[in-house]
Structure 1
């Protein structure tokens, strides 16, 4: 069933002290809402608010996985740039040097990629075990 589109045309403006705003903002951050206007509307209308209880260790794992993925993408981009460069200068005498450098780069990248994949797999196993335990 599609959600009915609501056109909101009325405004409610309030002034808050910095401390009051911090309290509301902190509560908003713990909620499932994406916009503070949605959150405050639900509070004002006395509707039920869903609060997210986050596991800091899982957040840390996810943050590291995101960083590892970025690093892997950067390595892939750099490797692709080297390949493009090699292909564009294949007739030049320096092409042999580029091929050697590319081989060295590949030899350095492959173990790093393997370790990243192993760490991602390890973290996903840890996350899966915690998720299964919480459901039980």
Structure 2
């Protein structure tokens, strides 16, 4: 059975200040309603209004992860360049330099992965507490 759409032919006027209108639009923006009329109708008829809520712990997690991602990408690029240079090293001093660079890059890469693991575990523990 198809539900017939009820014709809405009555108009209600509502006077609000600029500040009130701005606040209403802010609330509308956080809801899932597509139009101001639909939003106000639901409020007036005491029907549920679905509001989107941001997860603060996930936002904090992303705020910390994005710089780590950039640092990890840079470290991976440095490591890749170092490995690419390995076949062209013919002399012992060049090889020693490569090994030193390789070890510092590897340590930086492992540090970044460890920080990512730590932040992921923190988010997981916060999620478990809820």
TM-score bin (small chain): 0.5 to 0.7
- How far residue 127 of structure 1 moved from its aligned partner, in angstroms, is 0.9
Establish whether residue 111 from structure 1 lines up as the match of residue 111 from structure 2: no
Q: Which residue of 2 aligns with 1:10?
A: none
Aligned pair partner of 1:41 in 15, 22, 34: 34
CA contact (8 A) 2:82 2:102 kept: no
Q: Which runs of 5+ in 2 are unaligned?
A: 1-18, 43-48
- Root-mean-square deviation (CA, aligned residues, Å) is 3.5
| Structure of higher RCO (CA pairs closer than 8 Å, 6+ residues apart) | 2
Q: For this pair of structures, how many residues does the alignment match? A: 104
Q: CA deviation at 1:42?
A: 4.3
Distance 1:129 1:120, change over 3 A: same
Structure 1: where are the runs of 5+ without partners? 1-18, 32-38
| Residues 1:102 and 2:98 aligned together | yes
Does the 8 Å CA contact 2:72/2:109 hold for their aligned counterparts?
Answer: yes
Matched, 1:127 2:127: no
> What is the match of residue 80 of structure 2?
80
CA offsets 1:55-80 (integer angstroms, 9 cap, x no match): 2x542332222211221111111222
Give the structure-2-normalised TM-score.
Answer: 0.56
